[in-house]
Amino acid sequence: MTDLLNLHTHGNVAHVSLNRPKAIHALTLEMCEAMGLALLGWREDDNVKLVLLDHAEGRGFCSGGDVAMLRNSATEDDGVRAREFFHTEYRLNHLLFTYPKPVVAFMDGVTMGGGVGISQPAKYRVATENTKFAMPEGAIGLFPDVGAGHYLPRLRGQVGKFLALTGARLDGAECLWAGLATHYIESSKLAEVKARLIADPDKVEDILSEHSAEPPMARLQANRRKVDQFFAPGTLEGIIAALEADDSDWAAKELAAVRSKCPATSKVALRQFEENADCKNFAANMAMEYRVASRMIMRPDFAEGVRAVLVDKDNAPAWNPAEPEGVTGEMLDAIFAPLPDGEEWTPFRES
């Protein structure tokens, strides 16, 4: 296994704790492989009735994936290691989505990128006052993956497009309102909740409900009408034009957020919404996302985004194309096209 994970069983409850605190528990290939193997084993174990998913210590649940490895792979081995990572990570995402036993994910603290991918498939998703949820991939020239093509289009109104195009960070109350969390529990109660679940896993819904608190007013709820109005257009150019036409501070702030993201990433995200409508199941969505990921990591925008945000930290990426109009339908068609025979993503076999 790996020392970056704590894998236990407590009676009838299996427990996965991410244990890479210095990187806010960002997922590595080794971590994804170990989680997948453990979950496959527990899937066949009749003694396991419930799975808990959390982090051991640190500032948050999970900040994403191993971005440095992805960038190095794109420049050093033509993306071989990166594709292996995505294939393994997406298998883990799909395994959790189709898991026959209930999973409780504790989204306490930073929950972004890869952390979204392992928490959103869970039947029970617990947010706290510490939750910071986001899909910020547009800032580094990637795209909202790990199942976001399935989850975001299913959020109320235009919230999904808003999250994909702005990279907005939601707190725990907003996650509950948006449906990204099923429960809101104060972080001081989590240890007690986990102990109760381990003692009586058959009463998971009662235990979570009993310890739930009334969250503060969700800021996103107060802005829902604006989100639905300005993010209703079906094109990136249309959304930008709608925001530009409004003189409110809110529109100006969100316009700046949209314009700061990689134009190709933003158009890929909108295309995901369209493509997902034709996906017959979650596996089809993950196959679609794998095609996109395999190609997006090889585009210059990805290396440039990582440089600007994580290496030089000047936050001044030079995107290519620099404007939405430069991202053509032909470019998107190539990004979303099927992969050659034998290179497509496949899920774990069913039990």
Question: Which of 238, 240, 267, 280 lies closest to 336 in space, CA to CA?
Answer: 267
Q: Is 202 a catalytic residue?
A: no
Residue type, 347: P
Measured distance CA(95)–CA(98) in Å, rounded: 5
Say which residue the tokens 């409780």 belong to: 104
Catalytic residue, from 58, 113, 114, 147: name it: 114
Q: Does the active-site annotation cover 114? A: yes
Tell me which of 89, 137, 174, 254 is the catalytic residue.
137
Pick the catalytic residue: 36, 58, 60, 65? 65
Residue tagged active-site, from 108, 145, 174, 301: 145
Q: HSE-up of 313 (CA within 13 Å, CB side)?
A: 1
> What sign does the CA torsion over 255, 256, 262, 265 have?
negative
User: For this structure, is 65 an active site residue?
Assistant: yes
- The alpha-helical segments, DSSP class H, found in the chain are 29-43, 67-76, 80-97, 114-119, 148-151, 159-166, 172-178, 190-199, 204-211, 219-222, 224-230, 236-244, 249-260, 263-276, 282-296, 300-306, 329-336
Q: Is 60 annotated in the active site?
A: no
Nearest to 108 by CA among 161, 183, 41, 166: 183
Q: Vertex 347, ends 113 and 149: CA angle to 5°?
A: 40
Prior bond of 321 cis (ω within 30°): yes
- State how far the Cα of 44 lies from the Cα of 54, in Å rounded to an integer: 22
- For the chain, helix, strand, coil in percent to 5 are 55, 10, 35
**Max CA separation in the chain (angstroms):** 60
How far from 247 is each of 158, 228, 233, 241, CA to CA, in Å? 20, 17, 18, 12
User: 313: which residues sit within 8 A by CB, 6+ positions away?
Assistant: none
Q: So which residues are the catalytic ones?
A: 65, 114, 137, 145
